[in-house]
Amino acid sequence: MNYDDFADLYDHQYDLYRDDLHFYAKLAQDSSRVLELGSGTGRVTLHLVRRGAKVTGLELSPEMLGRARDKAAAENLTLELVQGDMRSFELGRTFPLIIVPFNALMHLYTLPDQTKALERIYAHLEPGGTLAFDVYVPNFGLEGVLRHEGETFFDGDGSRTDVFVLQRIDRLKQMAYTQYFVDTADFDGRLERGFYTLEQRYFTRFELEWMLKCAGFEGVKISGSFEGAPLDSSSYFMVVQARRPSSRQ
pLDDT at residue 8, as a whole number:
87
pLDDT at residue 59, as a whole number:
98
What are the distances in angstroms from CA 145 to CA 1, 27, 118, 205?
Answer: 23, 39, 35, 27
* Contact between residue 166 and residue 178 where contact means Cβ atoms under 8 Å apart: yes
Residue 87 β-bridge partners = none
pLDDT at residue 62, as a whole number:
96
* pLDDT lower than 50: segments of the chain: 249
pTM: 0.95
Q: What is the pLDDT of residues 9-41, one digit of tens each?
A: 888 889 889 999 999 999 999 898 999 999 999
Please write down the long-range contacts of 69-77, taking CB distance under 8 Å and 24 or more positions apart.
71/41, 71/42, 71/46, 72/42, 72/46, 75/46, 75/50, 77/46, 77/49, 77/50
pLDDT at residue 155, as a whole number:
85
